[in-house]
Amino acid sequence: MPAECVAYKTVHRAAGSLFPVLTTEAQRLLFSLTEAQVAEYRARGFIKGPRVLDDHQIAVLAEALERVRTGDHPRLNELYEIDEAYTRAPGENVFHFLGAWMIEEAFHDVLFHPAVAVPVSQLLGCSKVRFWHDQVFYKPARHPGVVAWHQDYAYWTRSVPARHLTVWIGLDDSTRENGCVHFVPGSHRWNLLPKGALLEDMEAIKQRLTREQVAYFMPEPMILRAGECSFHHCMTLHGSYGNTSDRPRRAVVINYMHPDSRSADGTNPLLLHTPIIPEGEIIQGENYPIVYDSSLRLA
């Protein structure tokens, strides 16, 4: 079947061979985080992760991204969303879309990549890891587009409880100059702040913080090489400034959740084109695959 017809979301394992498949305990150990890394994540709400993509994997993902960005893709109507802020004002807002996993094999297979899924299971503290959705953030060269300070969970309250985690993977080196993500240490213990426009206003958050939160608002830049990743808790406050460099800054973002997460909205689809899940029921089915189960025995 030609790739442009494959219903990737019905395939709950890697469809191709771009990423390794976990077969041995030794491999699992290799992909695991240390106890110190897990402790740092719990204390601060984010950590720098390892390099999870090699140059070839980066190139394949970047090509797939380009097919979507240029509009040169026969299945764009299957995506969950292309951010309307970009559609309205592409010269001001970054290109942000959700759902590439359903239309591009590399975006589908990276969800199952053990270098990503094994650490996520450790950080979520559960043996099974459930996929929630994916995102791409593309900051063109010399572009003012920001990602405003936010907690991811502010956009996800329709899935409960807040036991979600985000993996951010760079397809380029990310630096202060090109608008790397900044994280506020300890903010994962804050209350849920009201959400604002994701792509538009870097200063808006200040009005929503208490005086104490303002005092602890000390963002740290996450400087990464291409192919490296970071992990952050769904309540961790983060954002990123514009790209003042001569090259785009591209990121693949994968959002995972606890396998027992439940629907908190029985009247609307949790994601576009997906069936309604009655309130209180576990979020599961073909749109939300289990990508890893640490209880499976390996050689």
User: Where along the sequence are the contacts to ligand AKG (CB under 6 A)?
Assistant: 137, 147, 152, 166, 168, 181, 238, 240, 251, 253
Measure the CA–CA gap between 256 and 251, rounded to whole angstroms: 16
**What's the min distance (Å) between Cβ of 166 and ligand AKG?**
5
**Least gap, CB of 122 to ligand AKG (angstroms):** 19
Q: Which is nearer to ligand AKG, 107 or 137 (CB)?
A: 137
Residues 6 or more apart whose CB falls under 8 angstroms from that of 34 comprise none
* Closer Cβ to ligand AKG, 20 or 92, answer by number: 92
Phi, psi of 117 (to 5 degrees): -70, -35
In the bound complex, what is the minimum distance in angstroms from residue 172's beta carbon to ligand AKG?
A: 11
Helix or strand or coil: residue 38? helix
* Least Cβ distance, residue 241 to ligand AKG (angstroms): 9
The tokens describing 134, both together, are 């994916």
Written as six digits, the tokens of 85 are: 């802020």
Residue 73 or 238 having the CB closest to ligand AKG: 238
Kindly give the residue spans of alpha helices, DSSP state H, lying in 104-229: 105-109, 114-124, 211-215
C-alpha 161, offset from chain centre: 18
Cα separations in angstroms, 8 against 71, 90, 101: 20, 29, 7
Q: Which is nearer to ligand AKG, 22 or 83 (CB)?
A: 83
- Shortest approach of ligand AKG to residue 170 CB, angstroms? 9
Between 250 and 258, whose beta carbon lies closer to ligand AKG? 250
Instruction: Please name the amino acid found at residue 286.
Output: E
- With respect to ligand AKG, which residue has the nearer C-beta, 6 or 184? 184
Minimum Å gap between C-beta 232 and ligand AKG is 7
> Please, how many CA atoms are within 13 Å of residue 286, restricted to the half-sphere of its CB?
9
Joined together, the tokens standing for residue 114 give 């053990």
Taking CB atoms, the residue at the shortest distance from ligand AKG is: 240
> Which helix (H) or strand (E) element contains residue 63?
helix 55-69
